[in-house]
Amino acid sequence: MAKIVLQNWQFSQADEENWRQATVPGCVHTDLLAHNLIPDPFYAKNELDVQWVDKKDWEYTATFQLSKQDMEEDVLEIVFEGLDTYADVYINNEKVLTADNMFRRWNLDIQPYVHEGENALLIYFHSPILHDIDKPDQLGYNLPADNDHSEDGGTGEKKLSVFARKAPYHYGWDWGPRFVTSGVWKEVYIEAWSDVKIKDVYIKQNKVAADLAELQAIVEVESQAEKDIDLVVSDQHGFRRVEQFSIAKGIQTLEVPFSIAEPNLWWSNGLGDPYLYQFSIDIAEQDTVLSSKKVKTGLRSIRLVQEDDQYGKSFYFELNGVPVFMKGANHIPNDSFLTRLDKKNYQHEIATAAASNMNMLRVWGGGIYEYDEFYQLCDEHGILVWQDFMFACSMYPGDEPFLHSVRQEAIDNVKRLRNYASIALWCGNNEMDAAWSQYQEEAGWGWKQRYNMTQREEIWQAYDKIFHQILPDVLKEYDPLKDYWPSSPMQALSSDEEQHAGSNTVKKGDIHYWDVWHGQKPLEAYKEHVGRFMSEYGFQSFPEEKTVRTYAEEKDFELESPVMLHHQKNGAGNRLIKTYMDLYYKEPKDFAAFLHLSHILQANAIRMAVEAHRMNMPQCMGTLYWQMNDCWPVASWSSMDYYGRWKAVQYDMKDRFKQTVVIADQGNDQLTLYAVSDQLENQAAELIFQVFDFEGNLLDETRQNVEVQGNSSVVIYQEDVSAIAEGRSDVVLLASLKTGDRVLDRVEHLLVKPKDVELENPRISVEYVEDAIELTCQHFAMNVWLETEEDGYFDQNNFSLLPGQKKRVLFTESVIDNVDFSQIKLPEGLVVKSMYDFV
């Protein structure tokens, strides 16, 4: 089989015929930017100056050469892995395809349209805005889509994002800009083949256990004639299974059951090796291989367990028979212009997740079904994936063409992703069940009340059709062994008022808890609202100063400047950061200090949430904060910014997501220490509880042996706050958990809010000992922060430092989840600051 790559791509505005070189995969915006025809869309308020791009039609052309041998093949199939979005495809001036879904894979036999020698391809992209502009009028009403920045796009109240099967965030979000792209966003190629072709392979894992994996290779085959063939399944360890078939002309499915004794199981990060099998599937005729396909996958059992228990109904993931507490974040696309991404972007993100002791990422439903590189890396690093279908925070139309497109989109993506070991759950949509709240009249986001009863019935019928019929039906047919959850958050698929999740839901289902932030509740409210699985919650910060300077000038360095407000897509965001900061911290001394103090505030907030969730296991069995990453440089809920720079919260999550942690929980009158462990075995340990003053003097010490129970949370120490250091508040509590000489975890705790701590200059000293940075201080240092002129990553940051103690810190240029000492170096231009320098 020959693969022919298309070359010499050019693009033009359709009404100008002014052809310029294009990059494919790519999009109109990035091609225009490459030719300096638009300004940097991310800088200042330039976003608003490029909104004209999506109102134009665009054309892309390419040529391809076909040899005499190519023309003699049985099939010449052109494959479009992704067209964004409304596209007419012409080959040698004949229209061969009309595409209308960014998420679909399009392919067809082009033999009737081509000839030997040079051939021409033209793709005409219709403006997604002009294509859909009349659809609200045709429907008779606007569908709810509150994150659609229609006012910036010049469409007024018309929310068009819901009509296009296209990445919803392209139309704007409360963390992202509005860039409605068009273009060839994935590979285009021609496959020339004859005889037989393997079109798809599904390694169905019927039953996987430590002693035996019972599997099934389900192979979709297309043949040009009837014939007898051998279908061979093998792996890298010498396993080989041969089955004979008589196949007919056309497309058919062949099934080969096989088993592997004592398989190497795939485990999530922290629990074991994410082992991957490499299966080869060959079709042979008389020892001649006619077609081959390879599948790399991990063997594991994964299920969502929802069973009655002492707390209500469980909601947890069981991997290889083990209940696993999920630690991670929500993932959004890494760029507004997807085709600028490469494997390095994904390597950085997934390495960050692994290094931060995460074991799950949620691919959120307002972005894209991610590139294969994302899932390959999750497989390799043991990061489970909660996979949304691409529907979010909106209600969608229910006409037959739209529903047909949704079904085909689901089939294409389920088939593409189902072999990845990391896929743990398919979820229908983000927040739509809770937002509409069909069965509770006063609940929801006020959407229902915008419509009359006939309209409401139409909208809910469309919802029911997509999320309760089409998507589960597709999964039943193409990926039947994985669990499906219709909407996040949700309590249960009960078709009554018990279905919808509210912020206070604690007994079943998953929760998006936003009363801290949107609801302006204090951070301590995280401890009061702990559900069975916390699939969304978050707290904002600005990016660091180095990142802010990529889109703003010194004159813009004010909280309410037009540029700062433009790079804050949550309307009240800047004000909320300031409001919360005033509650917990002293006034920052300048704007640069404000930027960093927003990092410290965010880290404190998410840390408090994560600790509340972990110490309440097994009642709570998952915590996924919002959000992991950014699609442009912006003030947002991310833990690392658009350039991949770690904020303080990323370092805190690396610490708080460790397999075993000590958590200090202070109530009004009592301090409680928890030992929380995701390790499966119990650990005998020693708890050392110490009280220091700010000069490093030891005021009190308690030592006791404790049993750290596996896969659980236990109380290991309690004391009245008034009894600690005779009621003094100017002290630091240090709790360490040790097994022999190994420190499992240590945590510092202050008895008062940070704003009530009186700090002296800590006089931090820095020494270089071999390839490590060693820090000491003369007075207590809070929120010590290391930064460098060059981009890089420390193994720890945003920590406290006590006099008389040394902190040893390593620096690497790239993120690594297991320290590779060959990468460790001393950074250039090291600067060390602490809270004393910011307020």
Q: What positions carry a catalytic annotation? A: 431
Tokens of 290: 């006619």
Cβ atoms of 513 and 5 within 8 Å: the answer is no
Nearest to 162 by CA among 135, 130, 126: 135
> How would you list the strands of the sheet with 807-809, edge to edge?
765-769, 772-776, 807-809
∠ CA 440-443-448, nearest 5°, is 80
Closest Cα partner for 327 from 2, 10, 660, 644? Answer: 660
Closest Cα partner for 606 from 594, 620, 621, 624? Answer: 624
Of the candidates 174, 170, 7, which has an alpha carbon nearest to the alpha carbon of residue 568?
174
CB distance 253 to 220 below 8 Å: yes
DSSP, collapsed to helix, strand or coil, labels residue 695 as coil
Sheet of strand 326-331: strand arrangement: 483-485, 423-427, 384-388, 360-363, 326-331, 622-625, 534-536, 511-512
- For residue 265, what is the enclosing H or E element? none
Q: What is the C-alpha separation between 409 and 132, in angstroms, rounded?
A: 19
Please, which residues bridge with residue 832 across strands?
786
One-character DSSP codes across 321-354: TEEE-EEEEEE--S-SSGGG--HHHHHHHHHHHH
* Distance of alpha carbon 789 from alpha carbon 771, whole angstroms: 18
Separation between Cα atoms, residue 14 and residue 95, nearest integer Å: 16
DSSP state of 168: G
Give the gyration radius of the chain's Cα atoms.
28
Q: How many CA within 13 A on the CB side of residue 816?
A: 14
Closest C-alpha to 437, from 185, 144, 125, 779: 144
What are the residue ranges of helices labelled H in 203-288? none
How many other CB atoms are there within 10 angstroms of residue 536's CB atom?
Answer: 22
- State the maximum Cα–Cα separation within the chain, in Å, rounded to a whole number: 92
Strands (E), 49-99: 58-66, 75-80, 83-84, 87-91, 94-99
3-state secondary structure 651-668: HHHHHHCCCEEEEEEECC
Q: Provide the CA 300 distance to its chain's centre, in angstroms.
A: 22
Contact 364, 331 (CB under 8 A): yes
List Cβ neighbours of 72 (8 Å cut-off, separation of 6 or more).
none
CA nearest 563: which of 553, 571, 576, 573? 553
| DSSP 3-state of 165 | strand
Query: What are the residue ranges of helices labelled H in 338-399?
Result: 343-355, 372-381
Q: What is the rounded distance in angstroms from the CA atom of residue 598 to the CA atom of residue 609?
A: 17
**What DSSP assignment string belongs to 450-515?**
GS-HHHHHHHHHHHHHIIIIIHHHHHHHH-TTSEEESSBS-S-S-SSTTSS--TT--SSS-EE--T
Q: Which run of H or E residues covers position 615?
A: helix 591-615
From the list 607, 739, 725, the residue with the least C-alpha distance to 684 is 739
